[in-house]
Amino acid sequence: MTFPFSAVVGMDDLRLALLLNAVSPAVGGVLVRGEKGTAKSTAVRALAAVLPPVDAVTGCRFGCDPAAPDPGCPDGPHSAEEPSVRRPARLVELPVGASEDRVVGALDLERALTEGVKAFEPGLLAAANRGVLYVDEVNLLHDHLVDLLLDAAAMGTAYVEREGVSVRHAARFLLVGTMNPEEGELRPQLLDRFGLTVEVAAPRDTALRAEVVRRRFAADADPDGYRAQWAASESELADRIAGARARLPHVVLSDAALQQVTSVCAAFDVDGLRADLVTARAAIAHAAWAGRLAVTEDDVRVAARLALPHRRRRNPFDAPGLDDETLEQALADARPDDDGPDSPDSPDDGPPTDGGDPSGGQSRDNGPSGEPSGGPSGGQSRDNGPSEGSQEGRSRDEGPPSREPTTAPRGEGGGHTDAAPAPEKAAVAPDAPFRTRRLEVPGIGAGAAGRRSRARSERGRVVGSRHPDGVVTKLHLSDTVLAAAPHQRGRGRSGPGLRIRREDLRQATLEGREGNLVLFVVDASGSMGARSRMAAVKGAVLSLLLDAYQRRDKVGLVTFRGDMAELALPPTWSVEAAAARLTSLPTGGRTPLAAGLLRAHEVLRVERVRDPQRRPLLVVVTDGRATGSRGGAHVADAQRAAGLLAAAGTASVVVDCESGPVRLGLAGALGVVLGGQTLRLGELGAETLSGVVRERRAA
């Protein structure tokens, strides 16, 4: 069942952002960020049900408007006399694992080359034209697909090109992406392409949570009856959207209001001018939604709160958000001195013509049976019921989930034994991150697209060709011609040109880059506890985390100190979570190096089962010392643990943190056993590597 949009409880910002895009798709879509079980999907699916129906040319696979058909429609040209049909606005859901051909459509190269027929099978962008395109977990989608979606949403047109054969078609849709930040962030360049963003969280008010469960139970018990109960509110909401759309072209953005838009964007130091354009469009849409024909200061304020928070991120460790004092000061600075009729904060001429609250739906009038109204001010429900919301009461401020400690084996030492555990020291703030050199997994993989290690992929440079296993998606033209050329006389071809058959076709083999699992194993023992030294270590790991984010890697964090090693962060795409764990990491105690390596070995074993194509890269950050609570060959135990990782074929890098005039070289010896590369802490920087290369070239 599709839950009624009017019955959703809470989440005013999300509802308003969706409605503004429904009024004006030119705003650029909505990115919804929030924890699991917060009804993100419920709200999106509910919105599609209240959008006004559309007229479409009968039989057109691209949903052309009969009043203004696309002149370049592949199914056209359409005449004014063609029959049309009225249908509901479509909601098209794009799965995370979708291929590029599934998204944009596919050209049948085989028929194009062998029969001369341009056969095009439309994709999801064509199906979403004049509707809603919903991408759940958009942060897990491949970057090139996200780029493609955002380009189509911005231009209203999709292009499909294969070896000189091209097709274009209209693709105007409301783009909505949802994501859980714990699973990783979008790159800032992609964040900027979304028009608005909204942060959602489960309500903490017990009465509101009870209302959510009550409504969910009522909808599950009698779906038809529940929809009928909210039918009037849904109809009113659909009429209000249609009225706002009709009013939109007549809304005036005065110079004074435009000055406030640009003042706010400049005050928050956002990059580029897309923020100004989106904020202005959202302010106009908000005015139309509120029933006004002129943009006011309140419209600009609401638009800025939705359009700017995600554009202030400079790197993945920056938290999105706006400072209210800065926003109000920017609005005040751009406010004209006079209070004439053109003043952006002058009162409008009356209540909205469609009824409702002029603020865009923030009122809490009671609906049927005394429930909070779900009209324009509605809120939130749970599409999956209470079973998904069992963890929703945990506040973001309660800290990370419980970790899994692993007791260190009794035998991780190195030549000496600590007389007593060193006292734990407070967490040291990391040094500023820097640009690191690229660390790669040797060989050629076949994992998910990324930017770290070499891999066979669907995108990249052509390195050869092969016989196609199925449909040809990337033609190797020269090898196809070479395969067909010797057979032309036998095929009766004597003049210019080639006669190509199915067996001549060659699929291009491409080599690109893949993302890896980068597992950090960080020594937090007392031997690493010198304040300046640990700050440098944390700064280096933070730099590697930033590099992993940019290269689209999964990351995990194992730390060891005292008598145990723990999985501080299970493998995830969220480098923000890893950075937070690293920053708060205390130091002190003995050095159970073997325990840390064994914990890493177990984590990687489990991950190989979960994601066998994602190759791991182990980064061990230590001075190589291994101490325990008893005497013995602790270093030998650590080397035996390293031998297990080497036997499993794990690519490793040891970052040697040893300092001082006397160096034991234990980290280097560990790197040899691991079969990996050993780098001094100061050799991680890309600038350092460039200097070494220049020196060698000069020599």
Say yes or no to pLDDT of 112 above 80: no
Higher pLDDT, 299 or 692: 299
Q: Average the pLDDT over each of 77-86, 388-397, 413-422, 424-433 and give the range with the smallest value.
A: 388-397
Q: Do 99 and 176 have their domain in common?
A: yes
Rama region for 411: left / alpha / beta (φ>0; ψ in -120 to 50; rest):
left
Amino acid in the structure at residue 268: F
The C-alpha atoms of residue 647 and residue 403 are separated, in whole angstroms, by: 28
The least confident of 82-86, 328-332, 377-381 is 377-381
- Measured between alpha carbons, how far is 275 from 188 in angstroms, rounded to an integer? 13
383: confidence class by pLDDT, cuts 50, 70, 90: very low
pLDDT band at 394 (very low <50, low <70, confident <90, very high): very low
In a domain, 81, yes or no: no
Do 575 and 655 lie in a common domain? Answer: yes
Q: Which residues neighbour 607 within 8 Å (Cβ) at sequence distance 6 or greater?
A: 517, 556, 571, 614, 616
Model pTM greater than 0.75?
no
Q: How many residues does the chain have?
A: 699
Asked whether residue 230 is domain-assigned, the answer is no
Q: CB of 281 within 8 A of CB of 26? A: yes
Asked if residue 222 has pLDDT above 70, the reply is yes
Residues 378 and 485 in one domain: no
Same domain membership, residue 344 and residue 301: yes
What pLDDT score was predicted for residue 233? 92
Q: Which of 168, 187, 274, 680 is catalytic?
A: 274
3-state secondary structure 556-596: EEEEEECCEEEEEEEEECCHHHHHHHHHCCCECCCCCHHHH
Q: What is the pLDDT of residue 697?
A: 41
Please check whether residues 471 and 414 belong to one and the same domain.
no
Q: Where are the alpha helices (DSSP H) in 131-254?
A: 143-155, 188-191, 206-221, 223-229, 231-247
Tell me which residue has tokens 């030998």: 636
- Give the residue numbers spanning the domain of 133: 1-53+88-202+362-396
* Burial state string for 684-694 with b = 16 or more CB within 10 A and e = fewer than 16: bbeebeeeeee
Structure tokens at 674: 């691991």
- What is the SS3 string spanning 263-324? HHHHHCCCCCCHHHHHHHHHHHHHHHHHCCCECCHHHHHHHHHHHCHHHHCCCCCCCCCCCH
Are residues 171 and 106 both part of a single domain?
yes
Do 151 and 174 fall within a single domain? yes
Query: 431 and 486 share a domain?
Result: no
Residue 69 token pair: 């058909």
Indicate the residue type of 547.
Answer: D
Which of 184-198, 446-460, 563-577, 605-619 has the highest mean predicted lDDT (pLDDT)? 605-619
With CA atoms as reference, report the closest residue to 87 among 122, 119, 129: 129
Active site residue 274: yes
Neighbours of 612 (CB within 10 A): 10
Q: 530 pLDDT band (50/70/90 cuts)?
A: low
Q: List the alpha helices (DSSP H) in 68-205.
A: 100-104, 109-114, 124-128, 143-155, 188-191
Contact assessment for residue 290 and residue 299, using Cβ atoms and an 8 Å cutoff: yes
CATH number at residue 20: 3.40.50.300
408 lies in the same domain as 535:
yes
Cα separation of 301 and 279, whole Å? Answer: 9
Give the CATH number, domain containing residue 660.
Answer: 3.40.50.410
Q: Which two tokens stand for residue 585?
A: 């990491």
Residue 70 is assigned to a structural domain of this protein: no
Backbone angles phi, psi at 57, to 5 degrees: -65, 130
Residue 213 lies in a domain: no
Is the predicted pLDDT of residue 321 greater than 80, yes or no? no
pLDDT at 159: 85
Q: Is residue 300 part of a domain?
A: yes
Average pLDDT over residues 499-516: 86
Count of CB atoms within 10 A of residue 675's CB? 16
For residue 278, what pLDDT is reported? 94
**Residues pairing with 522 in the sheet:** 559, 621
Report d(CA 253, CA 49) in Å as an integer. Answer: 31
Residues contacting residue 444 through CB under 8 Å, at least 6 positions apart: 454, 455, 456, 511
Chain position carrying tokens 């106009």:
284
pLDDT in tens, 42-78: 888 899 888 888 899 998 999 999 988 888 888 888 8
Q: Which residue has the higher pLDDT, 119 or 274?
A: 274
- Looking at the structure of the chain, the number of domains it has is 4
Instruction: Assess contact for 171 and 129: CB atoms under 8 A.
Output: yes
Higher pLDDT: 527 or 602? It is: 602
Say if residue 382 is in the same domain as residue 431. Answer: no
Same domain as 417, residue 372: no
Assess if residue 82 is contained within a domain.
no
Residue the block writes with tokens 């009037």? 232
How far is it, in rounded angstroms, from Cα 603 to Cα 558? 9
Say if residue 249's pLDDT is above 90: yes
**What is the Rg, in whole angstroms, of the alpha carbon atoms belonging to the chain?**
30
CA 107 to chain centre: 28
CB neighbour list of residue 323: distance below 8 Å, 6 or more residues apart = none
Secondary structure (3-state) at 158: strand
488 plus 436 within the same structural domain: no
Strand, helix or coil for residue 174? strand
pLDDT at 369 over 80: no
Residue 122 belongs to a domain? yes
Mean pLDDT over each residue of the chain, to the nearest integer:
79
Residue 83 lies in a domain: no
Q: Is the bond preceding residue 341 a cis peptide, omega within 30 degrees?
A: no
